[in-house]
Amino acid sequence: MTGSTGLVVGVANERSLAWGIARAAAEAGARVSLAVQNERLAIHARPLAESIAAPLVVCDLADDQAVGRLAEQVGATGALDFLVHAVAFAERAELTGRFVETSRPGFAGAVDISVYSLIALTRALLPALRRSDRASVITLSFLGATRVFPHYNVMGVAKAALEATVRYLAADLGPEGIRVNALSAGPFRTLSASGVPGLRALMAAARQTIPLRRDLTLAELGEAAVFLLSSASRGITGEVIQVDGGLHLVGAAVPPEGAER
């Protein structure tokens, strides 16, 4: 990715999927800028940004003016070769109760931050993406978009909308040479994921039942992202690529010893 310039949005700390991707892109030679939600998170993100010589920008994606300022800061003149959207939000109450209890504001808030922000960010950065000859946009999804996971609730619906958004953006921007794809990641213990009850149990079950029989590493996710952000994937757009150790293949999550009985 030498010579490529990109923006990675959604770094909260060193466990963030955004950080795994930013680090892998920087190691592959890209010049990366990072965006964080607020000053509180910037305290954790600043040393990470410094370690890869990345400028750090604060932007709350709920605020259209902040999105505009972000685009001014990172894409006012030069070309932007890639954009990574690694952002999701749902009120904790929406992830603890029954799905049927999903509230109207809880639904709207989850879809606004987890889905609409991809459209808003991409639109704000379009002039800079158009100046690139290899523009690639990626977002992060989860298998909860198409399968039901306990407590994932409204976030599963948001991920389904996010994957549809990837297809619509890819079709809309493809004629301008801008590609849009998603990585569907397996479970990682991050700040956001800790808001979904039962994550530890899901990861323990996955370790025993997914084809690769282990947790994935941030480096593995990062390298898959580098593929989608680089010209190696130049023929791919509108795709959701599973980087989940084969989680999406598993029908019944029965541990191997249980299946023998």
Positions touching ligand NAD (CB under 6 A) are: 10-12, 16-18, 37, 41, 60-62, 86-89, 113, 140-142, 185, 187-188, 190-193
Question: Minimum distance from CB of 182 to ligand NAD (Å)?
Answer: 9
Q: How far is the CB of 63 from ligand NAD (least distance, A)?
A: 8
Instruction: Tell me the longest C-alpha to C-alpha distance in the chain.
Output: 64
Dihedral angle sign, alpha carbons of residues 73, 108, 193, 249: negative
Q: Which two tokens stand for residue 33?
A: 């800028």
CB of 177 to ligand NAD, least distance (A): 25
DSSP per-residue codes, 28-68: TT-EEEEEESSHHHHHHHHHHHHHTT--EEE--TT-HHHHH
Judged by beta carbon, residue 204 or residue 258, the one nearer ligand NAD is 204
CB distance 226 to 169 below 8 Å: no
**What's the sign of the alpha-carbon dihedral 158, 140, 34, 14?**
positive
Q: Which is nearer to ligand NAD, 61 or 226 (CB)?
A: 61
Determine how many CB atoms are found less than 10 A away from the CB of residue 231: 12
- The neighbouring-strand residues paired with 141 are 184
Residue closer to ligand NAD, measured from CB, 122 or 141: 141
From 180, 183, 189, 228, select the one nearest 25 (Cα to Cα): 228
Compare residues 132 and 153 and give the one whose CB is closer to ligand NAD: 153
Q: How many other CB atoms sit within 10 Å of the CB of residue 39?
A: 8
DSSP state of 112: I
CB of 116 to ligand NAD, least distance (A): 11
d(CA 231, CA 136) in angstroms, rounded, equals 9
* Residues designated catalytic: 152, 159
Taking the least distance from each CB to ligand NAD, the nearer of 22 and 113 is 113
